[in-house]
Amino acid sequence: MQLKNKNLLQTQAYIDGAFSSAASGATFPVTNPYDGSKLAEVADCGAEDTERAIQAAAKAFKVWRKFSAGKRARILKAWYLLQIENAADLAQILTLEQGKPLGEAKGEIRYGASFVEWFAEEARRIYGDVIPGHQSDKRIMTIKQPVGVVAAITPWNFPSAMITRKVAPALAAGCTVVIKPSELTPLSALALAELATQAGFPPGVINIVTTNKAPEVGTAMTASPIVRKLSFTGSTMVGKLLLGQCAATVKKVSLELGGNAPFIVFDDADMDKAVAGAVAAKYRNAGQTCICANRIFVQSSVYDDFITRFTVAVKEQQLGDGMTAGTVVGPMIEEKAVCSVEAIVSDAKDKGGLVLTGGKRSGSGSSLLFEPTVVANATRDMKVFTTEIFGPVAPVFRFETEEEVIEMANDTEYGLASYFYGRDYARIWRVAEALEYGMVGINTGMISTTVAPFGGVKHSGFGREGSKYGMDDYLEIKYLCWGGVE
């Protein structure tokens, strides 16, 4: 690993302002998904270490919450500037442990840092209200105060941005945090911790518990009465488990869970833009994002034209090592992820699906490289209709009418992201309102941005990240009633 700032490669947990080994002394390996090479041995923390981090956060909360909004903002802004200054190194760490192409990794670093910059500014805008009193001698006010200690559990697919998107608003609000990054990608989290130290955060404000024992650490977080808020991004199955565990201590909870995003192409769509949007929405990060286009629906009259153009575009996606110039699609994260995608493609073929390109592992390079795939003649009885694919496989369904495709698109327990292309403005309004999703991309396949609220409905979770709404889950509203004002 050729880093300019070698201090960014940390391998110990970050608790109470210092890097330290796990209490047990245990470690676990972090490997490069492209070639399986070992990058580092990282501290394998358990419940004892998690409790120490929670206690450190609780102690720091008493100090951090009293900092003025301006002082918190200045420290957050310093953290943002350090991330931008070290973006090349942070991207290299990210690509080596996660696999995505280096260009994508650089984009993630900039995207993740943008949340820190945004919420540094939002720290100054935590406003209350003055409400007309219900009686002549009464005055009513509301103020907003930080929730307290926040636990954040983040995934491997965006190991930097998923941390900053949760942590920045929490810190801006005056909360302190304990983070459990994925065991597959802890190095990006620890690099952010190193920069947090340089930025001037007091000890205990940010804590990172690295572990290969996710259930043990997760349970310690959810059971702790000190932790007042849990934010989780990951699978719906795990999210439901964590939500149940948080019930005993009645925590505030934010969940950003699985998706089954429809991508609809109507007969009046700009076909070139629809194809480009579908490629962008499907194959970014090798299809391993929760807002990936999971089911592509194309109106019958333009189905053949779209799928021909789409297949040509997909064939041009260069597969390879994320560190190699020109790579557009990197390796999948681990063997079981590839096996899952293979099973989904096999099921589609068995039920009449036609693989127009891809459909198998690459014959060269990494065993975790799966070719960008297009499956035509997709039908509702296939697993691709109900399962979150989380890989570079695009099933293309045919539909006849607006009513039919809305019913198909909404026929899922998920409700995170959705997309459609068309130019009839009346239909655009109807479809945007009818889709049961927290986010709708209209004539675009790229919807993630700092300034808009990110989140879903139904089994895709609740709560919003980013935008002015991103502070809400880290604040409590307190009502003050003043009597005797005469």
User: 419 pairs with which residues across the strands?
Assistant: 263, 441
252 pairs with which residues across the strands?
229
First to last CA, the chain: 71
* DSSP codes, 153-192: E--SSSTTHHHHHHHHHHHHHT-EEEEE--TTSHHHHHHH
* Secondary structure (3-state) at 260: coil
Task: Please tell me the distance from the alpha carbon of residue 223 to that of residue 255, in angstroms, as a whole number.
Answer: 17
User: Is 256 among the residues known to form the active site?
Assistant: yes
Of the residues 45, 246, 290, 292, only one is catalytic, namely: 290
- Cβ 178 vs Cβ 24: under 8 Å: no
Lookup result for tokens 């219900």: 134
Q: Annotated catalytic residue: which of 256, 371, 388, 465? A: 256
Q: d(Cα 379, Cα 364) in Å, to the nearest integer? A: 31
Position 180, amino acid: K
To 10 degrees, what angle do helices 102-122 and 87-98 make? 120
The strand pairing partners of 270, in sequence order, are: none
| Coarse DSSP helix, strand, coil percentages of the chain, rounded to the nearest 5 percent | 45, 20, 35
> Which residues are bridge partners to 265 per DSSP?
298, 421
Can you tell me the distance from the alpha carbon of 226 to that of 107, in angstroms, rounded to the nearest whole number? 36
Beta carbons within 8 Å of 316's beta carbon, 6+ residues apart: none
Active-site positions? 256, 290
